[in-house]
Amino acid sequence: MTMHATPLRVIVADDHALFREGLINLLKLQADITVVAEADRLDEIPPLLAQFACDLLLLDLGMEGHSLVDIASLAAQVPVIVVTASDIEDDLAEAIRSGARGIVLKRFAVKTLMEAIHAVRDGHMWMPPSVQAQVIASLQDTSRGNLTVREREIIRHVALGRRNAEVAKDLAISEKTVKTHLVNIFHKLGVRDRVGLTLYAARVGIIGVREQRK
């Protein structure tokens, strides 16, 4: 785990008051984490993100019935870890597709929350082992593709968090060529974005699930 000089600023969003308070009390015990705000309604979150500097959002997936549709817009502003009582594979997979960086099951939150937070802070994605394989499998069909050697190289670079320009420099090709390859790769694999591509790379062994982004 990487050590950080400044505390991680966290917003906790959950409409179950007792669970939300329990999470906050757990986080307050951590020297490297500061809870800057809390929310019990989805519509409270955007104003809080605008008001407070925030490094991570802990979001209840079942907030006000269902918060899946809100993850994409929130994840565009701040890393999101989904905290949920549900282990329905389709919902968890959709949360990842929408941009969530981690999944924590509520029944294991006391044991796994800090591991998930530190993993996401250090650039990893995090899911409990009990759902990891199923979620990744529901996102990708590894029989699709017939990838070329060059495409696998590009997938690895992108999955490790590198920008198109960095990939182009490392592989001695143009940035336009990288973009063209990515369009073809997305089409072959049926993925919509770099998150899906990263999960595919982890599933088929192009990178490790917990491999450090560079």
Predicted local confidence at residue 3, as pLDDT: 53
Q: Which two tokens stand for residue 110?
A: 């006391």
Half-sphere exposure of 51 (CA within 13 A, CB side): 10
Q: Identify the residue with better confidence: 5 or 40.
A: 40
The string of pLDDT tens digits covering residues 25-38 is 999 999 999 999 99
Q: How far apart are CA 103 and CA 43, in angstroms?
A: 22
**0.75 exceeded by the pTM?**
no
Domain 8-139 sits in CATH 3.40.50.2300: yes
Given 3.40.50.10190, 2.30.29.30, 3.20.20.140, 1.10.10.10, which CATH number is that of 149-204?
Answer: 1.10.10.10
pLDDT tens per residue, range 159-194: 888 999 999 999 989 998 899 889 888 878 878 788
pLDDT of residue 201: 84
pLDDT band of 73, cuts 50, 70, 90: confident
